[in-house]
Structure 1
Amino acid sequence: MADQVPLLPYNVYMTEPPHLPVRGAEDQGGPDFLVQAEVKERHARGVVLQGQTCSGETVTVTLTLVADGIARVLLENEESDPARIRLARDLPADEYEMTITHSEGYVYLQTPALRIEVALQPFHLTFCDADGRLLLSQNYSEVTAVRMKLTVLPFGLSKVNGQRVAFHDTFTSEPDEHFFGFGEKFTDFDKRGQRITTWNIDCGGAFSERSYKNVPFFVSTRKYGVFVDTTSAVDFDMVASNTATYSIISRDSALDYYVIAAPDLKSIVTKYASLVSFPILPPKWSLGTWISSGFQRDSAEEVLRRARLIREHEIPCDVLHLDCYWQRFGHWSELLWDSELFPDPAGLLAELKSMGFKVCLWMHPYIGIESEYFTRGDEKGYFLKNAQGQTYVVDIWGGFHPPVGIIDVTNPEAIVWFKELLREPLRVGADVYKTDFGEGIPNDALAYSGIKGEQLHNLYSLLYNDIVAQVTEEVTGHTGLVWARSTFAGGQRHAAQWSGDVNSTFPAMASTIRSGLSMAMCGHAFWSHDVGGFTGHPPTELYVRWAQFGLFSPMIRAHGNSTRLPWDFGPRGLELFRTYARLRYRLLPYLYTYACVAARTSLPIMRPMVLEYPDDPSTYTMDLQYMLGEELLVAPIYNLSGERTVYLPEGRWIDYWTREIFAGPRTIRVQTPLETLPLYVRANALIPTTAPVSFTAEEPCADITVDAYLLEEGTFDLQDTDGLTRISAELEGSQLRINLAGAKHQLALRLLPLARNELVAEVLINTTQSCKEASPEEQHPQNTWARAEDGTILVKLSV
């Protein structure tokens, strides 16, 4: 690890992943891999094989067709481990064609989307798609060096000094294959050539592959995905130790993985989500701006001052976040207000609500030893235990705050107690919790349920956020939104997450973009980050550039360990933050539409270029630009110079600011002033907008204007709290035809002045209804259209 170089200062508290032992010269054993197998039995969706390893040990291999295009491979000892934790759900037996055939020496399992070929002697697994195209294949031939020493680990298990320490598998990696995912990794988006360990850790920055949010799932450009179903640490060697292969090493009591095949990467992400979880649809207000007190002393007077200044400066904002200091220092996180600094919480929250604010409160799943709640929990056995059976007390804050006990989220009585602590601030008027930490579970901790720390470590964040989300939904009535730092596979159900404590530097901002794209490939749609970075005080240029990135992210929060209030960055910083916040609020109908899509499909709002353009090799390593939804291409500036390259894929693209039209594929070099975020619109896009407001409401947007970047024809399926509205528009000759159907019966369409628009002389609605032309100066009624001096055509529709 980067912070374990011998000459660096000692890190006080860090829960490192358990290290695999190094085989000594006296240990004559070696990796034990499958050499042959025979069919032991058939089950409803697959087969059970009895396998024999090179040492003669018997193992069991179960192959299951879970759903069309999803296969499960389970390698375990001859006897299963009943205590092993699974995250994947058992899917219903959908109607699809499935065949299982057994001929001499081979077994074949097939669904319409996936075919598995099993060679029994010598043992070998091959996966192909519906057309017979090879997806992935176990590799036994490239694993040894010239001296016949293994360089990677084939399908099997390893023992050291007679004790099993891991299961593993190795696959061929095609020379042009690229890999994405693994959770929130701050390294290059393309994980080819990297070694990755899925182990949640307080990484304290955006420096390396270590992260708060790990997901043992990845997607390949060859259009398959792999999910390893375990809460234990998994090592992925992605063409790092051997340029022909990648390997999976699991420390669990079995190797349990799923191969997912589909015609496109989006479908793979959705199928993966069907196994672990789809996102919730968060409240509409959560897509607005969140502004924080920052990690500094606070008070009721300061909170009200911030709230009033936000409204006075006319900054659109929905959520005020109160960080740690709403509670008594030294007692974190007992979930009690500091009565000296916040003498009337109910009154404070009521006043904030009268100003249109929701309130988010900071918390973590630990309680400081100075709190009376620690004493109560300790007496009741509500905390994780150490090897001696005593409450495990840890210095999670590195000396800054008194040590804490870790709430045991596997103890039913502790859960009830914890939920009661959570309820009171919500009853008083808070709306959501920022669920900080959750990564610091010691490997040797013991839980009430019997789970050891090593297996609980990654699972903890899921259980912790489940509890907080459940209470939030019960008390507030809206979906169980949290704002979480740590998560694991399936954590997309806890919208939302933010990227943690990154430095206030341009390189950290660039790494944050990469981490968000890696999270996106795991189906985590509602991801965010701290505008300006967390650690340090950003100069105005960095703050503004980060705000542009943040306000064009799935969710947006300004937060840090010093002020991130827009007016503290000078008149220019304030004005530019406000400008982009208003632009975000204009786009809320567009963003909410993609939030609805995410809840149904787990497709992210912030989309890697490769997800939208999987057949364009230029997108495979592209990790500093992205699509926001399907229509907007965002290229944040990550340096002081304002220069960068932007890649425009195949098709035509329109500069949002100048409306210049570019034909892709091409790379352009841009240099932009601080005022400008490079932003491009896909030609023929229809972008629903609304008038910016100070704060949002859950009611359907009543004032929708669709910006039409029309060259020929375009469509958009607008989703709002009142349902689905289908909008289409077509330019043909001098005629503009608009169709509107669904929940909304009135809206406006603004045809922007691009090529040929000046030729429009007739407007039709729903094929036959003709619009009357009106003067631009008059307040024209519904089903009329007018042309402005700059060539913009505004049509008011009512159907």
Structure 2
Amino acid sequence: MAPLHNPLVAEYGFPSTIPPLPQRDELDPVVRATVHSQRPDGVDLSATTQNGSAVTIRLTSVAPGVVRVELDPASMDRIDRPHVRLAHPPADTPTVSLEPAAPGHARLVTEFISVDVDLDPFRIAFNDVDGRTLLAQDPRPTDVTGRLAAPTFGVSRADGKVVATHDTFVCEPDEHFYGFGEKFTNFDKRGQWLEMWNYDAHGVNSERAYKNVPFFLSSRNYGVFVDSVTPIRFDMAATNFATFSVVVPDTALDYYVIAGANPMEVIRRYSDLVGKPILPPKWAFGLWVSSGFTADSAEATVARARELREHEVPSSVLHLDCYWQKFGRWSDLDWDSDAYPDPERTLAEIKSLGFRVCLWINPYIGIESPRFRLAAERGWFLRKPDGGVYVLQLWGGSHPEVAILDLTQPDAVAWFQSRLRELLRMGADVFKTDFGEGIPFDAIANDRSTGEQLHNVYTLIYNDLVAGVTAEETGRAALLAGRTAEETTHAELLPRAAAKKTTHAGMVWGRSTYAGGQRHAAQWAGDPNSTYQDLASTLRGGLSLSACGHAFWSHDIGGFHGQPTPDLYIRWAQFGLLSPLSRLHGMSTRLPWDYGEPALSIFRDMVRLRYRLLPYLYSCAMDAAETGEPIMRAVALAYPNDPALANIDLEYLLGPDLLVAPIYNAEGRRPVVFPPGGWVDVWSRQLIKGPSTRHIEVPLEQVPLFARADALIPTTDTISELSETPWDFVTFDAYLLSGGNTILCDLDGRTELQARVDGSTLDVSLRGAKQRVGLRVLPLTDTRIAQVRLNGELLAQRNTLTLDVATATSWSIQPDGMLTATLGQ
């Protein structure tokens, strides 16, 4: 079965292309089964395929609403190979009951999902708590000749050995599918054919992706996670419009069906299996400014930092890309002594201006590097089948060929981490972990893994190693009380760090990832062209990755390749600064003053807006680390019962209360589809009622941005330097029509605020960590407030009022009708 390749994408550009499957014999589907044994958490079935082979099927309730399906052929029928499993089901699994059913049938029942099994002919169906069928196998999808039209539940063989497993399901006429990683195609993946094989995608305009995740959500409130690191193929009603299929080029099939009351609950349950996002530090939510893919020096770096302060552009991280190292030696992890003769002094000067420092790295070593011969002699590189070092051109000819560090080789890992440790002790705070997708399928690793087995998981190992040493050197390992950093692996840090809802356990800024990679905050979207078309594709990729529970995503503001026009630069900045994380980066300058006026002033104002919203964004981030829910989310995930929103992928919710609709053309016009409820234009304060569609036109200095009616959005004054401390003073912007409530999460705990208009009285309740906050109630209605009560007590009214921590609890009406109040417990 040869893989489907995009004929418009040159294969020579992808040396680590997907491996072809061998020519297979006929499909061999499971046709009948008997109940072999019952377990407290499930049932084992003895099954037979069409050709008479024996297989074992295990159905297991692994967590609330989650059922695991395993198909395991008899050992003599398959090629023996190791399996890497990424799901980690809890040890305490829910019990199930095997209820009596009609002859030839079995029924497993749990609290949140039930499974109906037809034993002969064989078929599995999954139902929700109300008995509605969520997902059902299609055991005989045939064409008019009676031949199978899809790879049904069973196996494929080549030369008598199992080489692939597969399953096919009924696709309902109104069903939509989301996820699969950072796919830049339309957000609704129905009708698409998707490969789970990480690529250096060379852009954002093909199906190839830097970040593949074999998980998807259905609009019918279920998800499926296929637990395999092999190049899985999904056919989502692309070749057979009545079914969708999965083919796993492995000798066993292992997938999880996840039910939920809504898409967010499905994402939460999925993240319980593979891991939750790790919370980045507060400074990571400020603006990152890159040197870009251009020559650099100590003088230029320090000048860039000073100019950012002189132009009063709030910014928190200065990133140095490739050229902090010598060209041709970009993975030596040595400073270019000509460009940076005293790197410690340079880093100290940058830090004195209030910046954190990010350094670019990758796991490839050029053949012209002095370290290449040493590493080759010591066996630190991936090898070809003949035993030689695997050397590839992964730079499109712009850099010498490279070899790939074998991160299963302990000495190679020790060397790699020692070099990173030295840089961290010198003053670096975080690494941009570029690449990691270039593992050839026929490579051989030290642990005897093949490139096919290692390819997708290499990025997880790579980022684990970088995050681990970063955690140790930045003191994050102190999260584990009573244990030293040397006694703690990064994998052990993750769950406890997430449980404590505290700062990161070793942040990275990565390009490639796979299932479970949300533990590596953060990822960015690779290399888009500087066009409006690629801005839109980048947004679609971010929404698809977010649907897989990856909360901390970003992209190159302005695009990576090419020179954006000033209007595109501003429009992309508006999108980027209203993304979970924000970074300026490209092959040419992305510094705002290089785009003249009014670009500099508009950009500065947008950055200030982002910094004002940081309490809101950070609260969403803390919630994401606890629940697994993304910060950036498609409207279809937030409003799954509205079919009109199923395909909307050029706007998104940022957290629960902000609707963002980036401009994707030079005219400044676009339609905006408003979900049900009320939405307030942040600029004009106009109330728009949904569901509805409006055609919006905005000037260059504005982006269509809307607050949910009755939202209470926490804000703060613009801050130039972010620290790991609670916000000093938070002011809630209240878009009140009747009443709302919110919970603010911060490093000092949770603060709950409720506000309700009752006639001419504003009733406010404040409880939790914050002892004093501000409130701004926007004048959205004709109601005139005559009194304000806080926790039942009337507050004094003043003629004027300053919103700060020193102002006594009181309230005031401003000349424009806005009510302001300082609230203290």
Q: Same fold (TM over 0.5)?
A: yes
Match of 2:162 in 1: 164
Q: 1:13·1:395 contact (CA, 8 Å) conserved in 2?
A: no
Deviation at 1:602, TM superposition (A): 1.3
Deviation at 1:308, TM superposition (A): 0.5
Q: Which runs of 5+ in 2 are unaligned?
A: 477-503
Deviation at 1:581, TM superposition (A): 0.3
Match of 1:794 in 2: 820
Q: Which runs of 5+ in 1 are unaligned?
A: 24-28
| 1:202 and 2:203 are equivalent in the alignment | no
Match of 1:276 in 2: 274
Letter in 2 for 1:140: P
Q: How does 1:684-699 map to 2 (within 5 A)?
A: 684-699=710-725
Helix, strand or coil: the match of 1:718?
Answer: strand
**Please, which of 442, 445, 448 is the counterpart of residue 447 of structure 1?**
445
Q: Distance in 1 between matches of 2:459 and 2:57?
A: 31
**Please, which of 788, 793, 814 is the counterpart of residue 763 of structure 1?**
788
**Please, which of 492, 504, 511 is the counterpart of residue 485 of structure 1?**
511
Letter in 2 for 1:135: L
Helix, strand or coil: the match of 2:713?
Answer: strand
Match of 2:70 in 1: 74
Helix, strand or coil: the match of 1:181?
Answer: strand
| 1:512 and 2:543 are equivalent in the alignment | no
Deviation at 1:400, TM superposition (A): 1.4
| 1:593 and 2:619 are equivalent in the alignment | yes
Q: How does 1:173-572 map to 2 (within 5 A)?
A: 173-478=171-476, 479=504, 480-572=506-598
Q: 1:483·1:498 contact (CA, 8 Å) conserved in 2?
A: yes
Match of 2:486 in 1: none
Match of 2:734 in 1: 708
Q: Distance in 1 between matches of 2:13 and 2:243?
A: 37
| 1:675 and 2:701 are equivalent in the alignment | yes
Distance 1:13 1:188, change over 3 A: closer
Match of 1:40 in 2: 36
Q: 2:41·2:95 contact (CA, 8 Å) conserved in 1?
A: no
Match of 2:57 in 1: 61
Deviation at 1:10, TM superposition (A): 6.4
Deviation at 1:82, TM superposition (A): 6.8
Deviation at 1:229, TM superposition (A): 0.2
Q: Distance in 1 between matches of 2:39 and 2:411?
A: 39
Q: 1:608·1:627 contact (CA, 8 Å) conserved in 2?
A: yes
Q: Distance in 2 between matches of 1:689 and 1:328?
A: 43
Distance 1:223 1:385, change over 3 A: same
Q: Distance in 2 between matches of 1:195 and 1:261?
A: 24
Q: Distance in 2 between matches of 1:587 and 1:13?
A: 41
Q: Distance in 2 between matches of 1:40 and 1:388?
A: 46
Match of 1:116 in 2: 115
Helix, strand or coil: the match of 1:549?
Answer: helix
Q: 1:65·1:109 contact (CA, 8 Å) conserved in 2?
A: no
Q: Distance in 1 between matches of 2:573 and 2:512?
A: 23
Deviation at 1:100, TM superposition (A): 2.4
Letter in 1 for 2:412: A
Deviation at 1:22, TM superposition (A): 5.1
Q: 2:360·2:432 contact (CA, 8 Å) conserved in 1?
A: yes
Helix, strand or coil: the match of 2:12?
Answer: coil
Q: 1:97·1:112 contact (CA, 8 Å) conserved in 2?
A: no
| 1:629 and 2:655 are equivalent in the alignment | yes
Helix, strand or coil: the match of 1:772?
Answer: coil
Deviation at 1:793, TM superposition (A): 0.9
Q: How does 1:642-791 map to 2 (within 5 A)?
A: 642-757=668-783, 759-767=784-792, 769-776=793-800, 781-791=807-817
Q: 2:42·2:95 contact (CA, 8 Å) conserved in 1?
A: no
Letter in 2 for 1:390: G
| 1:11 and 2:6 are equivalent in the alignment | no
Helix, strand or coil: the match of 1:715?
Answer: strand
Q: 2:614·2:716 contact (CA, 8 Å) conserved in 1?
A: yes
Letter in 2 for 1:36: R
Q: Distance in 2 between matches of 1:386 and 1:53?
A: 37
Distance 1:318 1:629, change over 3 A: same
Q: 1:14·1:201 contact (CA, 8 Å) conserved in 2?
A: no
Q: Distance in 2 between matches of 1:647 and 1:466?
A: 40
Q: Distance in 1 between matches of 2:100 and 2:158?
A: 36
Q: Deviations over 1:420-451 (max 9, x none)?
A: 01111111000000000000000000011111
Deviation at 1:111, TM superposition (A): 1.0
| 1:88 and 2:113 are equivalent in the alignment | no
Deviation at 1:493, TM superposition (A): 0.3
Q: Distance in 2 between matches of 1:761 and 1:231?
A: 63
Q: Distance in 2 between matches of 1:282 and 1:787?
A: 38
Q: Deviations over 1:772-793 (max 9, x none)?
A: 1111278993111111100011
RMSD: 1.6
Q: How does 1:119-138 map to 2 (within 5 A)?
A: 119-138=118-137
Distance 1:9 1:227, change over 3 A: closer
State the TM-score, normalized to the length of structure 1: 0.97
State the TM-score, normalized to the length of structure 2: 0.94
Match of 1:639 in 2: 665
Q: Distance in 1 between matches of 2:123 and 2:49?
A: 12
Helix, strand or coil: the match of 1:11?
Answer: helix
Helix, strand or coil: the match of 1:232?
Answer: coil
Q: Distance in 2 between matches of 1:691 and 1:267?
A: 34
Q: Deviations over 1:442-487 (max 9, x none)?
A: 0000011111100100000001000000011111124211000000
Distance 1:12 1:649, change over 3 A: closer
Helix, strand or coil: the match of 1:513?
Answer: helix
Q: 1:523·1:604 contact (CA, 8 Å) conserved in 2?
A: yes
Deviation at 1:18, TM superposition (A): 1.4
Q: Distance in 2 between matches of 1:266 and 1:91?
A: 20
Distance 1:12 1:669, change over 3 A: closer
Q: Deviations over 1:541-593 (max 9, x none)?
A: 10000000000000000100111111111121111111100000000000000
Helix, strand or coil: the match of 1:571?
Answer: coil
Q: Distance in 2 between matches of 1:64 and 1:2?
A: 33
Q: 1:170·1:246 contact (CA, 8 Å) conserved in 2?
A: yes
After alignment, is 572-581 or 517-526 more displaced? 572-581
Match of 1:26 in 2: none
Q: Distance in 2 between matches of 1:40 and 1:694?
A: 65
Deviation at 1:737, TM superposition (A): 1.0
Q: Distance in 2 between matches of 1:631 and 1:2?
A: 41
Letter in 2 for 1:572: P
Q: 2:14·2:199 contact (CA, 8 Å) conserved in 1?
A: no
Letter in 1 for 2:118: A
Query: Matched residues, percent identical?
Result: 51
Deviation at 1:11, TM superposition (A): 2.3
Deviation at 1:161, TM superposition (A): 4.4
Q: 1:14·1:202 contact (CA, 8 Å) conserved in 2?
A: no
Deviation at 1:413, TM superposition (A): 2.4
Q: Deviations over 1:188-233 (max 9, x none)?
A: 0000011001110011111122100000000001110000000001
Distance 1:5 1:120, change over 3 A: closer
Letter in 1 for 2:453: Q
Q: 2:61·2:95 contact (CA, 8 Å) conserved in 1?
A: no
